[in-house]
Amino acid sequence: MTVRDLHLVSNSTNNMAISSAPNPLLDVPGFEHIRRKWNVAYGIHAARLLPGEYYVTVGDEGIYTTLGSCISACIRDRVSGVGGMNHFMLPVAADEHTWKTTSVSAATRYGNFAMEKLINIILKNGGQRQNLEVKLFGGGRIMQNMSDVGMLNIAFARDYLQTEGLKVVAEDVG
């Protein structure tokens, strides 16, 4: 998609860019439920994640979400390009949540499930553990008078990645 493929539509009240982009093709099965749209500014398809979701792609796609105290880990194989993002709300499940008794989106609201699931799908689709690099985002303190869930999420993510031997190349947390 190039700038030549966009058409500017004008009327008396607004101007908007209309894209003639093709429908996005899923390159990794299992993510049909994720909302994807064409991003005119970047010229790519972009997947939008909600809390408890994750997404993996082997192509040129963007992935975005909105964060507060939640954390998103963006993990990619710097050689093959396969990568993805998760969006988790709490560090670990406090009760007996397991993959067998809990739906995937409910389980992946917890960092311990979300990180494991994202890494495993990246590896399953051609990523190599020694080539993985990570960027962390989120973990803000939303309410001053409440417990600092964001800081707990940050501590969990850093500890998890260190235990797994994965390199954090950038972060914007806290």
With respect to residue 16, please indicate whether it lies within any of the assigned structural domains.
no
**Would you say residue 24 lies in a domain?**
no
- Tally of structural domains, the chain: 1
Q: Decide if pLDDT at 22 tops 80.
A: no
**Tell me, what's the pLDDT at 97?**
52
Residue 4, phi-psi category: left (phi > 0), alpha (psi -120 to 50), beta (remainder): alpha
Question: From CA 98, how far away is CA 100, in angstroms rounded?
Answer: 5
Q: Which residue has the higher pLDDT, 31 or 98?
A: 31
Residue 155 lies in a domain: yes
Structural domain of 119: 35-173
Handedness of CA 56, 58, 63, 67 (dihedral sign): positive
Is 111 buried (19+), middle (13-18) or exposed (0-12) by CB count in 10 A?
Answer: buried
Inside any domain, residue 9: no
Domain presence at residue 8: no
Asked if residue 82 belongs to a domain, the reply is: yes
**Does 2 fall in a domain?**
no
In a domain, 167, yes or no: yes
CATH number of the domain where residue 93 is located: 3.30.1330.200
Give yes or no for residue 9 having a pLDDT over 80.
Answer: no
pLDDT at 24 over 70: no
Reported confidence tier of residue 132, pLDDT bands at 50, 70, 90: very high
What single DSSP character describes residue 166?
Answer: -
**pLDDT over 90 (residue 144):** no
Mean local confidence (pLDDT), 16-39: 73
pTM, to two decimals: 0.79
User: Which pLDDT score is estimated for 29?
Assistant: 85
